Amino acid sequence: MANNNNKAAECNDGKRLYTVTVFSENQVGLLNQISIIFTRRHLNIESLSVSQSALPGIHKFTITSITDEDTIEKVVKQIDKRVDIIKSFYHTDEDVVYQEIALYKVSTEQFLGLGSIEDLIRKYNIRILEMSENCVVMEKTGHYEETQGLFQELSTKLTVLQFVRSGRISITRSKIERLSDMLAKLEAIKKQ
Amino acid sequence: MSNQMKGAYILMESLLKENVDTIFGYPGGSIMPTFDALYDYMNRFNYVLTRHEQGAAHAAQGYARVSGKTGVCLVTSGPGATNTLTGIADAMMDSTPLVVIAGQAGSAFLGTDAFQEVDLVGCTLPITKWSYQIRSAADIAPAVAKAFHIANSGRKGPVVLDFAKNAQVEMAEFNYQKCTFTRGYIPYTAINPSQIDAAAEIINSAKKPLALVGQGVILANAEAELKAFLEKADIPAGNTLLGLSALPSDHRLNKGMLGMHGNVGPNIKTNEADVIIAIGMRFDDRVTGDLKTYAKQAKIVHLDIDTAEMDKNVKVTAKVLGDVKDSLPELTNRLKEAKHTEWIESFNEYEAKEDEKVIRPEVYPTEGPLKMGEVVRKISEATNNEAVLVTDVGQNQIMAARYFKYTKSRSVVTSGGLGTMGFGIPAAIGAKIGAPERTVCMFAGDGGFQMTIQELGTIMEKQIGVKMIILNNNYLGMVRQWQELFFQERYSSTPMVNPKFGAIADAYGIKNKEVCTREELDAAIKEMFADDKPYLLIANCEEKGMVYPMVPAGETVTNILLG
Ligand SMILES: Cc1ncc(C[n+]2csc(CCOP(=O)(O)OP(=O)(O)O)c2C)c(N)n1
Ligand SMILES: [Mg+2]
């Protein structure tokens, strides 16, 4: 899993970043089942996050990957086919509200030497999580360009000692979670 | 009333609830408690001890393919389990319902590199429909129920149960409930009437329709529905290798096999048809050749149970999702009766050409060494074309598939998607057990026969009346053919130094005959079918025979070499 790719909503070769959401049973080994489907097609997983969903007992994976629509559609169908997967969808950036979080660690001495700390904090909406004699830990949430922008600006001015960005988390813009439809349908099938 | 049982006994009772009658297996350390329980059930299961776990897996496949029931394997952990992987992968590719139960180290030892511990669930995830580790006795019955539900519904396939040793010996309440539903798995989608309408409209307006028939028809038991569909709208059909026998060979609309070594007619016509109706098939590359030039002129209607197959290799104009047993009759209802006489007759020219250039010389030679094709056809005819054909892989497989004839469905057991050498002997054992009333003829090459030759021991022990034929060319023939055509006849690693196959059969007490001439062949065939006992016929064939027609890999389906 690399994070060095430009997020680039639209890449020049017809590929773009897709967000795949997978709803699954809460069981061990699910990640393996999902990741091998990407591996077989030699697709890089750009980011990944896993959490419980709003529905009890159902886990939600949010995965981003750069590819073309034809491929992502096939990948999603193959994920969907797994017995332990309840439903899988893919989205473009327009379909979802999404967020990432990044943490930055710099030396306190260099940080204080910046001079324009207030400007920086206002410009990037930074939160300071920790400040000690040795180091300052900052947090920024936002889209890739935003967290990356701060990283780049800091890098030109001082040494970033540590930097980490979370996987994307996202929520669809549509009115209801499509999974609820799906679950209703499953319940209907079960009753038959 | 309490119904406490030991885990191993819960497994036995659960298998009985699933109507399992046959188990192929091999014992070992971590599955011993289960074999100990099996000892008490020997009168309720036909238990077959194979001579290698790969054999157990292929035998279970053969059993499943002819009977439609789920094949069951019982093996130990570690090497026992990994030995089944080839069969599991094969079953995944060819949609064969299988439940493989493997022992596993006790739960407390998992992850510690315990003796014969292998991460079987991890190993088999990519090659199963479902892999599950049973860690407690209470988990056994629900896991078995779910396993059988998954293996033999929807698009069928293999399931692995990794059975921890502690679960085999612990006690639990036995209360079996069949599984008919599991959230997240919808094996059968209701047929969507608008998809039927769209498909019917396309087919009704077709002038040159062609049906591509796959194993989906057989798996769905939809042979009669297929026939009604084809006959009503007068649609000629080509079959995939695995779709063979869904339609009798001599049916007026059966135009033969598709793909790399298929018949000329259906391949050429694939690129002439205006409408192609794919029924329970998946556009494998051995069928399509170069996708960029495949059936570009045609509207494509695809009927399949697996939505992941839709648009996977070939973009379709209209899809009909669902079991073809349900979709075919609905589609047939909406079809107009039609006649496509001229179009159907247009196949004749290619049939005649293939007959002259390829089939006659292969099947009816009058001089020179034996040809594989003539051996196959003679044997097929000796069974009144009613036998089950089991094949190994290579030239023997293609020759057998091409020249055997089929009058009944479920008559072809061959490794299609994976192309597994060594499939033949064990699959034939399973096929004979799965269809005891039918004659089972197994064709193998001299190479593949030696890959699972140890299963002659199983045949000996159980006196399984399979008729085995080695089409011996003293070469890994199919690879040699490619070397001749594409590697300047550099026969790297393909000449075979072979044993006396007859002497091996003798050692196992299996009647046998080695033949080189047509007269000897005729006599041996007579002898072979004189009783129901196992038999090995070693037919020494032309060494450098070629399988034609051939669409070279990755070429357009119309670029067919005839020799
Ligand atoms: C397990 C396995 N190993 C290798 C191959 C590659 N392969 C395909 S056909 C073939 C030759 C088979 O030779 P033989 O069994 O003598 O059959 P023939 O082609 O001569 O009829 C080989 C090596 C395979 N399909 N399966
Ligand atoms: Mg050979």
**Model confidence over B370-418: pLDDT tens digits?**
999 999 999 999 999 999 999 999 999 999 999 999 999 999 999 999 9
Domain end (from A32, A63, A91): A91
- Boundary-marking domain end, from A91, A126, A148: A91
Q: For residue A31, is it within any domain? A: yes
Residue nearest (by alpha carbon) to ligand 1 atom 4: B421
CATH of the domain at A29: 3.30.70.260
> Which helix H or strand E contains B381, and what residues bound it?
helix B372-382
Say yes or no: A10 and A72 in one domain.
yes
Residue A180 falls inside a structural domain: no
Torsion angle defined by CA atoms of residues B228, B233, B239 and B244, in that order, rounded to the nearest 10 degrees: 20
pLDDT in tens, B501-520: 999 999 999 999 999 999 99
Q: Which atom of ligand 1 is nearest to the CA of B478?
A: 19
Instruction: Mark whether A86 and A102 lie in a shared domain.
Output: no
Exposed e or buried b per residue across B55-80, where buried means at least 16 C-beta atoms within 10 angstroms of its C-beta? bbbbbbbbbbbbbbbbbbbbbbbbeb
* ipTM surpasses cut 0.90: no
In a domain, A177, yes or no: no
Is residue A9 located within the same domain as residue A85? Answer: yes
A86 vs B130, B184, B311: nearest CB? B184
Same domain, A118 and A135: yes
Q: Which of A83, A180, A185 to mutate to test the interface with B (most CBs of B within 10 A)?
A: A83
For chain A, the domain total comes to 2
Nearest CA in chain B to A33: B125
Q: What percentage of chain A reaches a pLDDT higher than 90?
A: 76
In tens, the pLDDT along B324-373 reads: 999 999 999 999 999 999 999 999 999 999 999 999 999 999 999 999 99
Domain of residue A125: give its range: 98-169
Residue A57 covered by a domain: yes
Same domain for A73 and A115, yes or no, is no
Report the CATH number at residue A158. Answer: 3.30.70.1150
Write down the catalytic residue from B93, B478, B528, B550.
B478
* pLDDT (0 to 100) of residue A2: 39
Same domain, A32 and A58: yes
Q: In terms of domains, do A10 and A79 share one?
A: yes
Is the model's pLDDT at A6 over the cut of 60?
no
Chain A: residue nearest B314 by CA? A70
Q: Which long-range contacts (CB under 8 A, 24 or more apart) does A2-10 make?
A: A2/A44, A2/A46, A3/A46, A3/A47, A3/A165, A5/A44, A5/A46, A5/A66, A6/A144, A7/A143, A7/A144, A7/A145, A7/A148, A8/A66, A9/A92, A9/A93
**Residues A58 and A132 occupy one common structural domain:** no
Do residues A86 and A112 both lie within one domain? no
If pLDDT is split at 50, 70 and 90, which confidence band does B82 have? very high
* Structural domain includes residue A87: yes
For residue A179, is it within any domain?
no
Average pLDDT of the residues in B87-108: 98
Q: Residue B133: which pLDDT band, with cuts at 50, 70 and 90?
A: very high
Same domain as A57, residue A87? yes
How many alpha carbons fall within 13 Å on the CB side of residue A27? Answer: 19
Q: Are A40 and A109 in the same domain? A: no
Question: Can you tell me whether residue A135 is helix, strand or coil?
Answer: strand
One domain for residues A33 and A84: yes
- pLDDT tens, B270-290? 999 999 999 999 999 999 999
> Which residue of B86, B393, B397, B541 sits with most ligand 1 atoms within 8 Å of its CB, as the best mutation to test the pocket?
B393
Does A189 map to a domain? no
B185-224 residue pLDDT tens: 999 989 999 999 999 999 999 999 999 999 999 999 999 9
pLDDT at position B6 is 98
* A54 — pLDDT class (breaks 50, 70, 90): confident
Contact at 8 Å (CB) between B406 and B244? yes
Residue A103 lies in a domain: yes
pLDDT, residue A5, reads 44
Q: Does the pLDDT at position A192 exceed 80?
A: no
Average pLDDT over chain B, rounded to an integer: 97
